[in-house]
Amino acid sequence: MSRTRHCSLHCFVPPYLLQQLALTVPEEADRWRRLLAIDEDLRLRRAQAPGVRRGVAVARGPAWVVHTAGTGTDLPGEVARRAGDPPSEDVAVEEAALGISGSLALFEEVYGRSSYDGAGATVSATVHFGKDYVNAFWDGTQLVFGDGDGRVFDRFTKPVDVLAHELTHAVTEHTAGFVYEGQPGALNESVSDVFASCLKQRLLGQTALAADWLIGAGLFLPGVRARGLRDMAAPGTAYNDPALGQDPQPAHLDAYLDTTDDNGGVHLNSGIPNRAFHLAAVAIGGSSWEGAGRVWFAALTGDHVTPRSDFAGFAAATVAAAAALGDVDVSAVEEAWAGVGVTPSVSAPTTRPAAPAADLLAATDRVVVRRSGGFAGQTSEAHVDLGADPRAGELRDLVGRIDLHRVAVSAPQPDRFVYDFDLCGDQATLCEQDLTDDLRRVADLVLP
């Protein structure tokens, strides 16, 4: 018997990108795997201290506080600057302050929302997390940013839209609460890109027509063939690099990627609603944050979406929001969704659950572990034959005392990993926060 579950936790770089680098730059594969291992360890610790959710009281105080981890991994780290303090000499601290304060201003001044929870919660952020850490995430209580590796990735605080993207995950968590799998998960990612782009364009004073619509421009270092991490106007064209590969995002529902990786392709298929927002913003005209942004925010916070709304359901919510606002061309919104192959309708929620672990290699004397998801949406898989392998003895002991069907299963969380286990024919799919110490040890032994 096998079970299928999803889990996740909000980060910025999809795991599939880091896994791609491990494959295409073999001389540096160990480094990329170590960075993925940092993510895994961090997420396991988060599982033991779950973050706040809707309806739960959060901290009050200054509008925001930026901490520094000093390249360590203890969170939140030391306070580096609070709202109202004089500027810091630390560039990452200042970039975080700019992005957070700008995001808060966008949500409050344009959409009337006080902080991510709607009640003035203090935003906590940490910079300089880990050594050569190539990620950014919202963990349910705070924002965290790495400095990059100095070879492919620059500081994750450098592009202001990265800050807004992560803070928007917090807003979504406290409003629509889209589950982090399949189409709802892709909407979760897309909404973060939407308001990240709105903030960037607002700070630059750009119209929707003049904007570049890139997410993460400046995140990659010179020499990397990449304009950004994603292109909302033309999904699938943000990068094409020997190490990174080609941007895999689809731009139309006809090209929807039905995959078990990355919680059903949440970082991949977000290109479809991203493109819809771009089309709507250009058609409505003016600024994206005052035009299409008001429509998307009203849909996100309204009564027409549920945590499991699919593309069609969210599209219907945006059409209803445009009609309710009264000063927006509803047909522009309808045509934008038509342009990506989505027909607005209140339909049964569509998710793309991970395939059961039965599709793993099956052998009576073999242990197989497959890990997918995380911030970059990447996948890693390996197996150990319990014969002459030096790991066999310890694995036999572990398999002998693990009962996969007695493992408690919790709800999915954004950007966390999903594990498929095949323990000599006994199979299950589990979220990383559900792993026991023995299962974590199995994963450590088997995966590279």
pLDDT of residue 447: 83
Higher pLDDT, 17 or 120: 120
Higher pLDDT, 91 or 264: 91
pLDDT of residue 351: 41
Give, in order, the Cα–Cα distances in Å from 224 to each of 10, 33, 228: 25, 20, 10
Higher pLDDT, 433 or 154: 154
Higher pLDDT, 433 or 231: 231
Listed ranges 23-32, 89-98, 137-146, 259-268; the one with the highest mean pLDDT? 89-98
pLDDT of residue 431: 76
Q: Retrieve residue 337's tokens.
A: 């969704």
CB 417 within 8 A of CB 372: yes
Which residue out of 6, 169, 267, 304 is catalytically annotated?
267
**Lowest mean pLDDT, pick from 227-236, 334-343, 376-385:** 376-385
- Quick one: which H or E segment has residue 30? helix 29-48
**If you average pLDDT over residues 260-287, what whole number do you get?**
94
Higher pLDDT, 184 or 346: 184
**If you average pLDDT over residues 248-261, what whole number do you get?**
94
Report how far apart the first and last C-alpha atoms of the chain are (Å, whole number): 27
Number of Cβ within a 10 Å radius of residue 234:
18
Per DSSP bridges, beta strands 123-127 and 64-68 are: parallel
pLDDT of residue 358: 38
Judge whether 95 counts as a catalytic residue.
Answer: no
- Half-sphere exposure for 57 (CA within 13 Å, toward CB): 3
Question: CB-based contacts of 345: which residues, under 8 Å, 6+ apart?
Answer: 312, 313, 315, 316
145 bridge partner residues:
136
pLDDT of residue 32: 77
**Lowest mean pLDDT, pick from 14-23, 143-152, 161-170, 261-270:** 14-23
Give, in order, the Cα–Cα distances in Å from 380 to each of 148, 152, 266, 387: 21, 20, 17, 22
- 376: confidence class by pLDDT, cuts 50, 70, 90: very low
Pairwise CA distance, residues 237 & 216, whole Å: 13
Give, in order, the Cα–Cα distances in Å from 195 to each of 1, 113, 135, 213, 288: 42, 13, 19, 11, 9
Q: Report the largest interatomic distance among the alpha carbons of the chain, rounded to a whole angstrom.
A: 71
Write the DSSP string, 218-252: T-BPTTS-BS-SEESSSTT-SBEETTTEE----SS
424 bridge partner residues:
none
Pairwise CA distance, residues 107 & 343, whole Å: 28
Pairwise CA distance, residues 123 & 83, whole Å: 10
Q: Is the pLDDT of residue 201 over 80?
A: yes
Choose among 161, 227, 230: nearest CA to 196: 161
CB 36 within 8 A of CB 380: yes
pLDDT of residue 85: 96
Residue 420 φ/ψ, nearest 5 degrees: -105, 125
**If you average pLDDT over residues 130-140, what whole number do you get?**
88
**If you average pLDDT over residues 236-262, what whole number do you get?**
93
- Half-sphere exposure for 72 (CA within 13 Å, toward CB): 9
**If you average pLDDT over residues 391-396, what whole number do you get?**
87
Task: For 81-99, write each residue's pLDDT tens digit.
Answer: 999 999 999 999 999 999 9
**Lowest mean pLDDT, pick from 144-158, 250-264, 419-433:** 419-433
Which residue out of 40, 95, 166, 181 is catalytically annotated?
166
**If you average pLDDT over residues 409-421, what whole number do you get?**
70
**Lowest mean pLDDT, pick from 62-76, 99-113, 285-299, 373-387:** 373-387
**If you average pLDDT over residues 266-287, what whole number do you get?**
97
Question: CB-based contacts of 171: which residues, under 8 Å, 6+ apart?
Answer: 107, 113, 116, 195, 300
Q: Is the pLDDT of residue 128 over 90?
A: yes
Give, in order, the Cα–Cα distances in Å from 62 to each of 81, 82, 83, 84: 11, 7, 6, 8
Judge whether 181 counts as a catalytic residue.
Answer: no
All domains of the chain, ordered by start, with CATH? 10-338 (1.10.390.10), 357-446 (no CATH)
**If you average pLDDT over residues 27-56, what whole number do you get?**
61
Share of the chain above pLDDT 90, in %: 61
In total, the chain counts a number of residues equal to 448
pLDDT of residue 350: 45
**If you average pLDDT over residues 50-60, what whole number do you get?**
46
What pTM does this model have? 0.77
CB 247 within 8 A of CB 240: yes
**If you average pLDDT over residues 113-120, what whole number do you get?**
97
Choose among 246, 249, 244: nearest CA to 268: 249
Share of the chain above pLDDT 70, in %: 84
pLDDT of residue 7: 42
pLDDT of residue 263: 83
Average pLDDT, the chain: 86
3-state secondary structure of 370: strand
Listed ranges 2-11, 289-298, 360-369, 426-435; the one with the highest mean pLDDT? 289-298
Give the CA dihedral 4, 9, 12, 14, nearest 10 degrees: -20
Choose among 406, 355, 414, 364: nearest CA to 385: 364
Listed ranges 139-148, 325-334, 397-406; the one with the highest mean pLDDT? 325-334
